[in-house]
């Protein structure tokens, strides 16, 4: 077990409380199976359905949510026995992780559960995809975040800005001043739950989230976060759960507006949609990941004219872009949103995409010194 020197007692206690809760849920899951068996009934686990058919657009709070449909997973059913066994196998691994006070990657969980069933040539998992799916089942069945199950994913994303955090995730309470992180920045971990990451000194008034780390570097080098008193994040394209959860917590716990600077193309719109409303595949996590208040500050289809850009920055839409743009326009949360309908129509009638970097044709720091400050001042964004 990792040495826990220097960790604050409060943080340790919170982690223990969380682990106790999760451990109890796993025990209840297992006990349910045992009880049914003793009662002479078929062992069964209820797994909420993770599918589009069971995804509901909650207009009132503005997020995608999972409905209450679920399926039973039976041991004595040829089609379900494999998944039944896999679910219990992973439950047991999670229990071990909690007991050992360790975390494991998705790939690690696949290997941890991997063996050949005694007396057969059958492997417990044929590949990681199968293992990942069972872990998502387990999340919804237990009502516990993957992070609470001590499982992490590949991390991506960096942060700088007017905030100090305390990161307990590596065994000591490390105080990290994001005002002094140089050109590199603080690498956002995969697990950012309140018991491992605490916000200590939040001076920032908002968060600027950009799509790419190269754009982030431009903003950091121009010390945008200092001049505008904010936090600067990037998520390496489509932000991973750790980054989304961090944005959510900053918005919820400190009331910070989240402004997203993304490309003017269907991919940029999709990233925004996921940050704001959640995704179908993770609908069961929307309440903890989605930021309904997130704002899209650009790039906008009007910017070609508004910023007097040259024809050189145009990247012609291909058939797939057009298809995706139409799909996104039909998302329930965009469907009745006049601003977004206009925006996507603008993209389609332009016939071209534009990247954030296209503003460099104006000036190296046009984006940090003029574009974003002007849009913020004019409150010119889509939400």
The catalytic residues are 111
Residue 10 and residue 188: Cα distance in Å, rounded? Answer: 22
Residue 170 and residue 176: Cα distance in Å, rounded? Answer: 13
Residue 225 DSSP code? H
Cα 288 versus chain centre, distance: 9
Q: How far is the CB of 234 from a copy of itself (least distance, A)?
A: 10
Residue 182 and residue 201: Cα distance in Å, rounded? Answer: 18
Residue 350 and residue 258: Cα distance in Å, rounded? Answer: 27
Peptide bond into 299 cis (omega under 30): yes
Q: Return the number of the residue (73 or 212) whose C-beta is nearest a copy of itself.
A: 212
Cα 75 versus chain centre, distance: 33
Q: How far is the CB of 216 from a copy of itself (least distance, A)?
A: 9
Evaluated on CA atoms 2, 4, 7, 10, the torsion sign reads positive
Q: How far is the CB of 108 from a copy of itself (least distance, A)?
A: 5
Q: How far is the CB of 196 from a copy of itself (least distance, A)?
A: 7
Determine what percent of the chain falls in helix, strand and coil, rounding each to the nearest 5.
Answer: 45, 20, 35
Residue 235 and residue 56: Cα distance in Å, rounded? Answer: 26
Residue 33 and residue 20: Cα distance in Å, rounded? Answer: 20
Q: Return the number of the residue (40 or 182) whose C-beta is nearest a copy of itself.
A: 182
Q: Return the number of the residue (125 or 284) whose C-beta is nearest a copy of itself.
A: 125
Q: How far is the CB of 118 from a copy of itself (least distance, A)?
A: 12
């Amino acid at each position: 077990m990792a040495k826990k020197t220097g960790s604050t007692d409060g943080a340790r206690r919170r982690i223990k409380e969380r682990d106790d809760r999760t451990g109890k849920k796993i025990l209840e899951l297992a006990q349910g199976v045992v009880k049914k068996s003793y009662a002479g009934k078929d062992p069964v686990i209820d797994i909420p359905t993770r599918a589009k058919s069971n995804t509901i657009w909650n207009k009132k709070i503005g997020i995608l949510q999972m409905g209450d449909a679920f399926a039973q997973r039976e041991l004595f059913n040829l089609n379900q026995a494999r998944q039944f066994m896999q679910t219990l196998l992973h439950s047991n691994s999670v229990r071990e992780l909690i007991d050992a006070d360790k975390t494991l990657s998705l790939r690690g969980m696949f290997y941890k559960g991997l063996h050949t069933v005694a007396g057969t040539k059958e492997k417990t998992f044929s590949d990681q995809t199968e293992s990942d799916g069972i872990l998502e089942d387990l999340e919804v069945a237990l009502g516990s975040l993957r992070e609470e199950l001590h499982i992490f994913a590949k991390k991506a994303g960096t942060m700088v800005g007017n905030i100090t955090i305390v990161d307990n995730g590596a065994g000591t309470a490390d105080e990290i001043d994001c005002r002094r992180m140089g050109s590199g920045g603080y690498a956002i971990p995969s697990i950012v739950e309140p018991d491992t990451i605490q916000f200590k000194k939040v001076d920032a008034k908002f968060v600027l989230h950009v799509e790419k780390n190269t754009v982030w570097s431009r903003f950091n080098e121009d010390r945008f976060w200092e001049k505008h008193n904010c936090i600067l994040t990037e998520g390496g394209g489509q932000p991973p759960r750790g980054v989304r959860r961090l944005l959510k917590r900053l918005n919820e716990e400190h009331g910070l507006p989240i402004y997203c600077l993304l490309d003017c193309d269907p991919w940029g719109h999709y990233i925004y949609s996921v940050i704001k409303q959640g995704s179908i595949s993770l609908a069961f996590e929307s309440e903890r990941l989605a930021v309904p208040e997130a704002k899209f500050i650009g790039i906008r289809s009007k910017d070609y004219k508004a910023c007097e850009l040259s024809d050189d920055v145009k990247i012609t839409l291909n058939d797939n872009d057009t298809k995706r743009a139409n799909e996104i326009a039909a998302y329930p949360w965009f469907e009745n949103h006049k601003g977004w309908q206009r925006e996507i129509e603008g993209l389609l009638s332009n016939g071209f995409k534009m990247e954030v970097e296209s503003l460099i044709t104006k000036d190296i720091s046009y984006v940090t010194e003029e574009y974003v400050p002007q849009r913020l001042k004019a409150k010119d964004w889509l939400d």
